[in-house]
């Protein structure tokens, strides 16, 4: 199977990125398409996956093997360093997932030529710009036991790891994030890579607001889960309580 160079959407006229909630639809489409492309590439091309994985926790000048995949997706030739690093970091974290995270189309069941080249996916349809699932939601989900998951994260661990990330500078976040994300994936918790890419891009200017969203999402979902767990216990107690004998 061969790889063709991805044709990233042209948005040279786009305004500079603002706070994530105000990110343009074009930026969101690019980020979503980039994530889909990297996932598809990792499934189809082990060599490309190895090249991307080699950039984990490294700076931009130490990842020559990644450029052929990531560079065509950078918005412009003068893309800010923070944006570049966000793209490279997310690509390396996607590639660092276990092989089981990547699924190729089944040639026996899907209408797909098994000898076809891997083309860059088309951007998703334009939608309303907004937030995806934050890292706070991912950590909250890691604490909750759910069907099909053999491993959960202790609540104290989840809270500690999330708080550690929120206190980081840009270099610190890129240094600590791979281990945190790997833990989430080990717990079989999905990560919204496109939203994480947005957050990394804007971290230097808007880390306070992003941090607030991560923590609010985490504690909001934890409180909801606690209420539901309490309701289930109450229902079980009611069902297990013997009825008073009739007089």
Residue 212: CATH number of its domain: 1.10.520.40
Task: Tell me whether residue 245 is in a domain.
Answer: no
Tokens linked to 231: 């309701």
Task: Tell me whether residue 3 is in a domain.
Answer: no
Task: Tell me whether residue 117 is in a domain.
Answer: no
H helices present in 13-62, as ranges: 25-44, 46-53
User: Which pLDDT score, from 0 to 100, does residue 7 have?
Assistant: 56
User: Which pLDDT score, from 0 to 100, does residue 151 have?
Assistant: 74
Task: Tell me whether residue 114 is in a domain.
Answer: no
| Percent of the chain with pLDDT strictly greater than 90 | 58
Domain residues for 158?
A: 20-102+131-236
Task: Tell me whether residue 123 is in a domain.
Answer: no
Under 8 Å CB-to-CB from 35, ≥6 apart: which residues?
90, 94, 193, 194, 197
Chain-wide mean pLDDT for the chain?
A: 80
User: Which pLDDT score, from 0 to 100, does residue 68 have?
Assistant: 93
Task: Tell me whether residue 8 is in a domain.
Answer: no
The pTM assigned to this predicted structure is 0.76
13 to 32, 72, 88, 91, 123: CA distances (angstroms): 19, 16, 22, 25, 17
Total domain count, the chain? 1
Output 182 or 244, whichever has higher pLDDT.
182
Say if residue 171's pLDDT is above 90: yes
Say if residue 168's pLDDT is above 70: yes
Mean predicted confidence (pLDDT) in 45-74: 94
Task: Tell me whether residue 4 is in a domain.
Answer: no
User: Which pLDDT score, from 0 to 100, does residue 115 have?
Assistant: 34
* Among the listed residues 147, 136, 225, 152, the one whose alpha carbon sits nearest the alpha carbon of residue 187: 152
Task: Tell me whether residue 246 is in a domain.
Answer: no
Residues in the chain: 247
User: Which pLDDT score, from 0 to 100, does residue 113 have?
Assistant: 39
Mean predicted confidence (pLDDT) in 2-22: 44
């Amino acid at each position: 199977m061969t790889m063709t160079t991805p044709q990233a959407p042209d948005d040279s006229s786009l305004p500079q990125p603002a706070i994530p909630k105000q990110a343009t639809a074009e930026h969101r489409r690019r980020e979503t398409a980039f994530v889909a492309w990297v996932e598809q590439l990792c499934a189809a091309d082990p060599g490309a996956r190895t090249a991307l994985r080699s950039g984990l926790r490294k700076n931009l000048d130490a990842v020559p093997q990644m450029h052929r995949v990531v560079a065509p997706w950078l918005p412009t030739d003068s893309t800010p360093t923070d944006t570049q690093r966000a793209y490279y970091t997310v690509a390396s974290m996607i590639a660092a997932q276990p092989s089981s995270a990547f699924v190729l189309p089944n040639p026996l069941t899907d209408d797909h030529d098994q000898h076809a080249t891997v083309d860059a996916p088309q951007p998703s349809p334009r939608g309303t710009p907004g937030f995806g699932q934050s890292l706070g939601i991912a950590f909250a989900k890691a604490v909750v036991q759910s069907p099909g998951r053999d491993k959960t994260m202790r609540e104290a661990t989840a809270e500690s790891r999330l708080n550690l990330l929120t206190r980081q500078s840009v270099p610190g976040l890129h240094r600590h994030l791979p281990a945190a994300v790997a833990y989430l994936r080990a717990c079989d918790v999905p990560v919204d890579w496109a939203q994480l890419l947005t957050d990394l891009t804007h971290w230097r200017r808007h880390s306070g607001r992003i941090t607030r969203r991560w923590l609010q999402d985490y504690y909001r979902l934890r409180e909801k889960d606690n209420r539901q767990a309490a309701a289930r216990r109450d229902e079980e107690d009611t069902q297990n309580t013997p009825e008073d004998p009739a007089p």
